[in-house]
Amino acid sequence: MNLSRKWLNEFVTVTANDKEFAEAMTLSGSKVETTEDLGAEISNVVVGRLLSMERHPDSDHMWVCQVEVGQAEPIQIVTGAWNIHPGDLMPVALHKSTLPGGKKIEKGKLRGVVSNGMFCGLSELGLDERDFPYAVITPAAILGDYHPLDKDKPSIPADIQPGDKVYGPVVAAEMLEVMPLGDGTFHTCASIGAEGTVCPDTCCPNLHVGDMVAFNTKTNSYCTLSDLHAQQAEFPHCIPDGIFVLREEGIAPGDNIKPIINADDHVVEFEITPNRPDCLSVIGLAREAAATFDQELRLHEPVVKGGAEGSLVELLDVETPDPELCPRYTARMVRNVKIAPSPKWMRERLRSMGVRPINNIVDITNYVMLEYGQPMHAFDYRYVKGGKIIVRRAADGEELTTLDGNVRKLTHNMLVIADDTRAVGLAGIMGGENSEIVDDTVDVVFESANFDGTCIRKAALALGMRTEASAKFEKGLDPLNTLPAVNRACELVELLGAGEVVDGVIDILNHVPQPRILKLEPDRINGLLGTDIPEQEMVEILRKLGFTVEGDQVTVPSWRGDVIGMADLAEEVARFHGYNNIPTTLMRGQTTLGGYSTEEKLERQLGAMCRSLGYDEIITYSFISPTCYDKIRWSADDPRRQSFKILNPLGEDTSIMRTTILPSMLEILTRNYNYRNQSARLYEVGRTYQEGGNDGLAVENKVLSMGAYGEDMDFFTLKGAVEAILNDIRAEDIRFEKPCQNNPSYHPGRCADVYAGGRRLGVLGQIHPLVAQNYGVDAEFYCAELDFTQLLHAKGPDPEYVPLPKFPSVTRDIAVVCDEAVTVGALEEAIRKGAKGLLKEVTLFDIYQGKGIPDGKKSVAFNLVLRSDDRSLTSEEADADVKSILETLEKELGAVLR
């Protein structure tokens, strides 16, 4: 919401500078985003009066001008503009002045002649013709400026003389006299040779004595570019751009230009929270500003003279068949409208607030919307068939072309303004093209209504056309505001002389809001805030905001639908007492014991262990693309594909909630690989989302996901890391087994299920080369997925001290030859089985195939540690154990000592 401070000052006098204003308003609850001084870039630009102009001795199109600028002596300025005449007032950028866009003007010489500044056009002051419609320039085509397209075949001879025929009724004319009439028109006389002299009035401002022009004897007017059917290139200086000749009242040479062009206004941009639609208006913000700065709020009661011909009741009939969607509909009529630009002050205010001026009637509706916060609409009465306005639901499929020229297909959930036959507007959003105010509009209906916010919001959303009006309606507006707003619009019509107002108001009040009365409980308010604010201060604050307080009864004003209870009153009090004047205290009361849950402790432990193993933590999106399941080669009927599906996703890539964390890890590994990072080791404790939770929610399981590629990375490196983690959480009976079911995402020969104490924790291994290929990668990726809940169960108890060995151990190395297919795990198991109670440790130290070992066989070597807890072992005792071990190995696995 933009606010013009000039407009604000009409309702409340605030002298604070922008920074102070922004700070104070922000701290009282109206957050200021930015402030802008509209004239910040303009300096040293004043009104000048052209005293005389002479042609530049050294240029065919420049003038040397003497200008009065409020100084003792006139100054000289050289200009190339053609639309000025002695006596004209215009903006003059003096020596050392600045203009919008950071442009700096200094004195200098133009083709050898001193120029002490510059005349300004609209655009140089950051304006356009909408700001000053009278400044539009209609240039005549000067024959001296003629540049034939084909040099050899000029349409107009270079030596053309007054009276020579150009074509048809058009002859050459030489200007004898040009006299500005002060209203943008000129009295002129020109010679047309033997035919004599013609003296038409013209609005072409670029004529000067001595100019040769084309004159149409039939229309008695000078020819413009289009009159001559000429191209721009033929008359390069015949352009509708020139100096901004001022026609403002009461200005004199030397006056600062800023107030004249409204560049002395300051615009403040507010962020208004959705609970305060009343602040989306000048009056609403003025009320806040008045309370903030403790100044008087000067409101104004609109006064309408009325008296136009006709009776409103006979002219217009309004029906509201859906009263719940239209709590109130207020309308008035204006006749004999004269569509014209609105006056400068109105255009300036609209511009300051970021609204484009259009014409007086449309500008009035926008002006009232900005001032009162009540959206207004104006219909052309002649297109309201049957003199009847019906506020109804649209029929499904009904079409309406809105003001922006788009055809809208409507549904039953949208509200339209219709006449007897068709929709003429989309209620609360945008008018229809078929009833738009146009240049020849004569009778106008002003609508000032209150529509159901939710209905408007949904319709605007469905149609993708959130407008200024709909944005206001959707927050819920004050139904009591429609009448003053429509009266204000009619008052402005009369003020502008834009038409005649018909007496009476059509006002359909379907829902009469009852004022809300609350009890003022100062003790509870202070109790909630932790303050000691006197009751009197509370009462004063509330009254400043428009609340009525009598005893302990507080009546909430109609525009404050957001105030419903004690806490809301407390906020009002706190805002103006000052949030920063509330003391700061520390919590009292019963102490509570804080801390991490068991789960969180494990999560932290796992993370710390992963990091100590060199794995970096990552954060991945919980949603994935359904194609991820294809990429990790899950079959089409894999039940794990059953995912929570987002019905309104941002895109396919983020449309389902993952049931596996693997694709997330693969995506990040791939990204790092594509970034040419040599290696990566990553982990995440992330969630998966399966169906079957309570209330139709998900079962959200956490998974410890690890992934790696690059230098020194292979199956056993990852396995070592997983083992270290499991040892760290003291998991017991850890086993790695070939997966009981083929896992299509992993390399079938380099993949293992991980168990602890018979509990399956998850899987680890190399990613299947085809999966890697699906990710566009030709490297070996290694991943592990360990279920967090299972890890929590597998977490072992706190350690209990075991006495250190008192007796020395005996070590023996054995190497056995067995079939290739026998696993190390099986060998170890056999070794443990064969031992007779002395074996403490088995450590694999070599696997060998090749010379000396038959094909299909392998040699596996272990280091055995044997020890007794109650005596020193003898060599014989150790040998007996080893013998038993070797026997078991041979018996069970056919493994023989090498």
Site for another protein in 682-711 (CB under 8 A): 682-683, 687, 689, 693, 695-698, 700
Min dist CB 522 to another protein, Å, is: 14
Distance CA 152, CA 514 (A): 85
Min dist CB 391 to another protein, Å, is: 20
Q: Which stretch binds another protein (CB under 8 A): 168-176, 256-264, 452-460, 819-827?
A: 452-460
Alpha helices, H only, 333-481 = 344-352, 360-372, 453-463, 468-473
For 185, half-sphere exposure in the C-beta direction (CA atoms, 13 angstrom radius) is 6
Using the minimum distance from each CB to another protein, give the nearer residue, 536 or 585: 585
Q: Which stretch binds another protein (CB under 8 A): 366-374, 454-462, 759-767, 785-793?
A: 454-462
- Asked whether position 461 contacts another protein by CB under 8 A, the answer is yes
In the list 575, 631, 658, 795, the residue contacting another protein (rule: CB under 8 A) is 575
Angle at 166 between CA 165 and CA 170, to 5 degrees: 80
- Given a contact cutoff of 8 angstroms between Cβ atoms, the answer to whether 212 and 178 are in contact is no
Neighbours of 116 (CB within 10 A): 18
- How far separated are the first and last CA of the chain, in Å rounded? 89
In the list 350, 668, 752, 860, the residue contacting another protein (rule: CB under 8 A) is 668
- Given a contact cutoff of 8 angstroms between Cβ atoms, the answer to whether 223 and 160 are in contact is no
- Asked whether position 185 contacts another protein by CB under 8 A, the answer is no
Min dist CB 571 to another protein, Å, is: 4
Q: Which stretch binds another protein (CB under 8 A): 411-419, 605-613, 757-765, 863-871?
A: 605-613
Using the minimum distance from each CB to another protein, give the nearer residue, 158 or 587: 587
Footprint (CB under 8 A) of another protein, residues 1-20: none
Min dist CB 657 to another protein, Å, is: 7
Distance CA 378, CA 337 (A): 12
DSSP letter string, 545-578 = TT-EEETTEEEEPTT-TT--SHHHHHHHHHHHH-
Footprint (CB under 8 A) of another protein, residues 76-95: none
Using the minimum distance from each CB to another protein, give the nearer residue, 43 or 620: 620
Min dist CB 561 to another protein, Å, is: 13
- Given a contact cutoff of 8 angstroms between Cβ atoms, the answer to whether 672 and 781 are in contact is no
- Asked whether position 566 contacts another protein by CB under 8 A, the answer is yes
In the list 43, 59, 620, 809, the residue contacting another protein (rule: CB under 8 A) is 620
Q: Which stretch binds another protein (CB under 8 A): 58-66, 170-178, 186-194, 650-658?
A: 650-658
In the list 635, 677, 727, 773, the residue contacting another protein (rule: CB under 8 A) is 677
- Asked whether position 40 contacts another protein by CB under 8 A, the answer is no
Q: Which stretch binds another protein (CB under 8 A): 195-203, 208-216, 538-546, 592-600?
A: 592-600
Element (H, E) at 755: strand 746-756
Min dist CB 24 to another protein, Å, is: 11
Phi and psi at 779, nearest 5°, equal -110, 170
- Asked whether position 222 contacts another protein by CB under 8 A, the answer is no
In the list 195, 399, 537, 617, the residue contacting another protein (rule: CB under 8 A) is 617
* Farthest-apart Cα atoms in the chain, separation: 148
In the list 194, 233, 593, 802, the residue contacting another protein (rule: CB under 8 A) is 593
- Asked whether position 26 contacts another protein by CB under 8 A, the answer is yes
Using the minimum distance from each CB to another protein, give the nearer residue, 613 or 886: 613
- Given a contact cutoff of 8 angstroms between Cβ atoms, the answer to whether 793 and 850 are in contact is no
Using the minimum distance from each CB to another protein, give the nearer residue, 47 or 574: 574
Footprint (CB under 8 A) of another protein, residues 469-508: 474
Using the minimum distance from each CB to another protein, give the nearer residue, 215 or 709: 709
> Taking Cα atoms as reference points, which of 824, 836, 820 lies closest to residue 885?
836
Measured over the CA atoms of residue 349, residue 352, residue 353 and residue 359, the dihedral's sign is positive
Footprint (CB under 8 A) of another protein, residues 516-545: 527-531
Distance CA 814, CA 598 (A): 44
Using the minimum distance from each CB to another protein, give the nearer residue, 465 or 880: 465
- Asked whether position 874 contacts another protein by CB under 8 A, the answer is no
Using the minimum distance from each CB to another protein, give the nearer residue, 29 or 121: 29
Q: Which stretch binds another protein (CB under 8 A): 225-233, 491-499, 596-604, 746-754?
A: 596-604
Element (H, E) at 654: none
Min dist CB 368 to another protein, Å, is: 25
- Given a contact cutoff of 8 angstroms between Cβ atoms, the answer to whether 2 and 279 are in contact is no
Radius of gyration of the chain (CA): 44
> Taking Cα atoms as reference points, which of 594, 610, 740, 751 lies closest to residue 682?
610
Element (H, E) at 501: strand 500-501
DSSP letter string, 385-421 = GGGEEEEEEPPTT-EEEBTTS-EEE--TTSEEEE-SS
In the list 647, 740, 802, 821, the residue contacting another protein (rule: CB under 8 A) is 647
In the list 5, 14, 21, 28, the residue contacting another protein (rule: CB under 8 A) is 28
Min dist CB 51 to another protein, Å, is: 45
For 338, half-sphere exposure in the C-beta direction (CA atoms, 13 angstrom radius) is 10
Using the minimum distance from each CB to another protein, give the nearer residue, 621 or 845: 621
- Asked whether position 619 contacts another protein by CB under 8 A, the answer is yes
Using the minimum distance from each CB to another protein, give the nearer residue, 26 or 555: 26
Neighbours of 697 (CB within 10 A): 11
Using the minimum distance from each CB to another protein, give the nearer residue, 527 or 805: 527
- Kindly give, in sequence order, each residue whose CB lies less than 8 Å from that of residue 267, ignoring residues fewer than 6 positions away: 2, 3, 4, 5, 35, 36, 38, 352, 353, 354
Using the minimum distance from each CB to another protein, give the nearer residue, 262 or 664: 664
- Given a contact cutoff of 8 angstroms between Cβ atoms, the answer to whether 235 and 225 are in contact is yes
- The owner of tokens 């959707």 is 474
In the list 226, 536, 584, 875, the residue contacting another protein (rule: CB under 8 A) is 584
- Asked whether position 591 contacts another protein by CB under 8 A, the answer is yes
SS3 248: coil
SS3 319: strand
- Asked whether position 453 contacts another protein by CB under 8 A, the answer is yes
Distance CA 751, CA 768 (A): 9
- Asked whether position 583 contacts another protein by CB under 8 A, the answer is yes
- Given a contact cutoff of 8 angstroms between Cβ atoms, the answer to whether 511 and 476 are in contact is no
Q: Which stretch binds another protein (CB under 8 A): 159-167, 273-281, 369-377, 423-431?
A: 273-281
- Asked whether position 589 contacts another protein by CB under 8 A, the answer is yes
Q: Cα–Cα distances in Å, from 848 out to 720, 750, 844, 859?
A: 21, 19, 12, 5
